[in-house]
Amino acid sequence: MEKQKQKSAAVVGGGLVGAMNTCYLSSRGFKVDLYEARPDIRTMEIVRGRSINLALSYRGRQALKKVGLEDQVVQDGIPMYARMIHDLNGTLRPIPYGKSDQYIMSVDRRKLNETLLTAAEERPDVTLHFQHKLVSCDLEKGKLTFKIEPANGDDSLDQTYQRNGGEDVHVEVTTDLIMGNDGAYSAIRKHMVKRPRFNYSQEYIPHGYMELTVPPHNGEFAMAINYLHIWPRNEYMMIALPNQDKSFTLTLFMPFDMFEQLKTGDDVVKFFMEKFPDSVPLIGEESLKETYFRLPPLPLVSVKCFPYHVSDKAVIMGDAAHAMVPFYGQGMNCGFEDCLVFDEIMEKLDSDLSKVLPEYSMYRSPDAHAINDLAMYNYIEMRKSVNSRWFLMRKKVDAF
Ligand code: FAD
């Protein structure tokens, strides 16, 4: 019998979803090349980007389990059994997520990404290409063009630059499957938008976010550890998730015009003393003044689109397909579940991409759109409804 030719896949984006998809596609026998615009985060001192830690929940764990990584990831996570509400008068109120043994887990984004990249690299027929930024593509033909980003300290890439006299260096590849996992501002999706009958909507909410830190106090966590702390103040809110190093990462979600009204360090301290008084001694006044102005608040976008694929050649997943506001704690979890669902459809349809890709779009989009809507709803619930009496009567798990 004639041996089937090995199929190739180009995964664009080496974030959480791209790295996980690489593991799945390798397990399905693909020759996988992953292309990531940034340098290898495993070799970097400081990695800039979004949220330092994330809430991992059931759907994300199921996807990790299938590629054999659940135990490794969970052992470094910190369980959060309840929300801990910080009222203005300093009262603390826990609201459990579910039964006493149910929890979501705080995990370190960088560590998780590194774990997934290393796991991907160890699989058969996988090559990781860093500093490769997708600049154009022909989705129908499976053709991709990457610009090689110059690298400080990476000899091989710097030499390529020198050879080219400092001009941009481009690499072209052709592949059987383009897997677009390049995040909320996806370059692959931008190409899909130009196609007829592609539905697309995006919404920026008026709120932005900023991260602050509560360092350890006397070598210990400064607040109760196994909780997702929330300071709900109706129009805005602050949350805190615990880290392995005994610090907490605080995230302040607030309308941009409110951020802009705080112009000096003293304005910031005054605002925090009025609105989040119990947090000020934990953060420290000097640190608060300094961190608040270090980086501008970042925007939050929600994206819906359909379909997720082009013929039998290209498909988008994760934030590229359904970026959502972070208030349901499900962006990554949903992206991980995308990989699992796609793999199950591959199994069912014998990896026939002409059938798998349309089936994936049809099957996955209603669920992804629903989670997107729930995230938008939880935007109000977290900052406002947790203050109401009826909320306390309800039982919920798997969300923030
Ligand atoms: P990304 O993580 O954005 O990765 C995309 C990758 O593609 C990046 O590495 C990028 O460098 C690369 N890339 C981009 N463009 C190109 C290009 N042209 N060429 C090559 N590479 C490219 N989710 C949860 O489940 N739980 C949480 O608690 C949670 N908290 C959050 C808190 C905040 C403040 C925010 C903003 C988000 C949060 N999320 C959370 C959502 C989560 O961060 C995202 O859903 C998740 O990162 C999506 O993963 P991804 O791989 O699809 O995209």
Per-residue pLDDT reduced to its tens digit, 73-111? 999 999 999 999 999 999 999 999 988 889 999 999 999
pLDDT at 322 over 70: yes
pLDDT at 385 over 80: no
Residue 222 tokens read as 């400064």
For residue 240, report the distance from its CA to the centre of ligand 1, in Å. 19
Task: Provide the strand spans (E) within 28-176.
Answer: 31-35, 53-56, 78-80, 82-86, 92-96, 104-108, 126-129, 132-138, 143-148, 169-174
Grouping H, G, I as helix, E, B as strand and the rest as coil, residue 396 is coil
| CB contact at 8 A, 27 and 3 | no
Closest residue by CA, ligand 1 atom 9: 15
Q: What is the pLDDT of residue 51?
A: 66
pLDDT, averaged across the chain? 92
pLDDT at 7 over 70: yes
Residue 93 tokens read as 């109120």
Confidence band for 396, pLDDT divided at 50, 70 and 90: very low
pLDDT at 203 over 50: yes
Confidence band for 397, pLDDT divided at 50, 70 and 90: very low
17-41 mean pLDDT: 97
Q: What is the pLDDT of residue 223?
A: 98
Which ligand 1 atom is nearest residue 55's CA?
A: 28
pLDDT at 268 over 70: yes
Greatest pairwise CA separation for the chain in angstroms: 77
| CB contact at 8 A, 126 and 22 | yes
pLDDT at 166 over 60: yes
155-179 mean pLDDT: 76
Which ligand 1 atom is nearest residue 35's CA?
A: 20
- Counting residues of the chain whose pLDDT is more than 70, the rounded percentage is 90
Quote the pTM value: 0.94
pLDDT at 247 over 50: yes
Instruction: Compare 102 and 151 and report the one with higher pLDDT.
Output: 102
CA-based nearest residue to 126, from 227, 31, 46, 192? 31
What's the pLDDT tens digit per position in 112-129? 999 999 999 999 999 999
For residue 95, report the distance from its CA to the centre of ligand 1, in Å. 28
How far is 398 from 375, CA to CA, in rounded Å?
A: 12
Closest residue by CA, ligand 1 atom 45: 331
For residue 229, report the distance from its CA to the centre of ligand 1, in Å. 23
How far is 378 from 228, CA to CA, in rounded Å?
A: 15
| CB contact at 8 A, 99 and 84 | no
pLDDT at 372 over 50: yes
The pocket around ligand 1, CB under 6 angstroms, is made up of 12-18, 35-38, 50-51, 54-55, 133-134, 181-183, 187, 209, 251, 318-320, 326, 329-333, 335
pLDDT at 395 over 50: no
Closest residue by CA, ligand 1 atom 31: 326
How far is 233 from 386, CA to CA, in rounded Å?
A: 10
For residue 278, report the distance from its CA to the centre of ligand 1, in Å. 31
60-68 mean pLDDT: 98
Q: What is the pLDDT of residue 100?
A: 87
How far is 107 from 72, CA to CA, in rounded Å?
A: 11
pLDDT at 374 over 90: yes
How far is 204 from 184, CA to CA, in rounded Å?
A: 12
What's the pLDDT tens digit per position in 276-299? 999 999 999 999 999 999 999 999
Which ligand 1 atom is nearest residue 318's CA?
A: 52
Strands 227-232 and 82-86: parallel
> Quick one: CA dihedral 28, 29, 30, 32, positive or negative?
positive
Interface confidence (ipTM) of the complex? 0.99
Cis preceding linkage at 255, omega within 30: no
Q: What is the pLDDT of residue 23?
A: 98
Tell me how far CA of residue 237 lies from CA of 233, 275, 290, 308, in angstroms: 5, 9, 20, 33
Which ligand 1 atom is nearest residue 57's CA?
A: 25
Which ligand 1 atom is nearest residue 333's CA?
A: 25
Q: What is the pLDDT of residue 45?
A: 79
